[in-house]
Chain A
Amino acid sequence: DAKTTQPTSMDCAEGRAANLPCNHSTISGNEYVYWYRQIHSQGPQYIIHGLKNNETNEMASLIITEDRKSSTLILPHATLRDTAVYYCIVRDPGGATNKLIFGTGTLLAVQP
């Protein structure tokens, strides 16, 4: 079973920041937080991952709380092409939870 909970859906206005929350209260010390997204009719696409420090790349920023029980994916300037299902996944790459277990995800709808 997925170890994360996410809202089912969210709306965001084009050009504004999209903040997607994820709860992972049972995360263990070696488990990373990964974010993927799936645009309609495509395979999932990696966005970002982190352990405990905040991370930023060309696609997004990942903010992880100090207790690591939740995180937020931030798309700084959402575009219509960012409309997708966003999956927050907890895994330990070298341990027992090294499989990608997809939860239900958040359907982000970017509105013009």
Chain B
Amino acid sequence: SAVISQKPSRDICQRGTSLTIQCQVDSQVTMMFWYRQQPGQSLTLIATANQGSEATYESGFVIDKFPISRPNLTFSTLTVSNMSPEDSSIYLCSVENGREAFFGQGTRLTVV
């Protein structure tokens, strides 16, 4: 199994500002995944972060809005840039072990 810690667990931010979410895993993993869960909705994959290379973004998500860092095999950050109220969501980090995916508790972001 894998234990994932996300920081912050929640935040309230002003529109136009940026927030960086941290994800720490207790074991080394090749890929880390970032998801968004808008209020009342299912999870949507934002991007896949590989150590040592650029993140791969899904359709509808761009690097300028959601820059991702992956400095080593146990850590990643997702930044939500130039926030608007529409960015209010839960952001989740995930890793896999080949059989199952493990998720952090998420970061609940409210943009006012």
Chain A residues packing against B (C-beta within 8 Å): 34, 36, 41-46, 49, 85, 87, 93, 99-105
Q: Is B57 an interface residue (CB 8 A)?
A: no
Check if B104 sits within 8 Å of A43, measured CB to CB. Answer: yes
Residues in chain B near residue A44, CB distance under 8 A: 43, 92, 101, 103
A-side interface mostly = loop
Known A43-B92, A43-B106: A87·B101 in contact at CB below 8 Å: no
* Interface bracket on B: 10 to 19
Residues in chain A near residue B4, CB distance under 8 A: 43
Q: Is B39 an interface residue (CB 8 A)?
A: no
Known A43-B105, A93-B98: A105·B42 in contact at CB below 8 Å: yes
Residues in chain A near residue B64, CB distance under 8 A: none
Q: Which residues of chain B in 84-112 are interfacial with respect to chain A, using CB atoms and an 8 Å cutoff? A: 92, 94, 98-106
Q: Could you give 5 example pairs across A and B, Cβ below 8 Å?
A: A42-B105, A42-B106, A46-B102, A100-B45, A103-B42
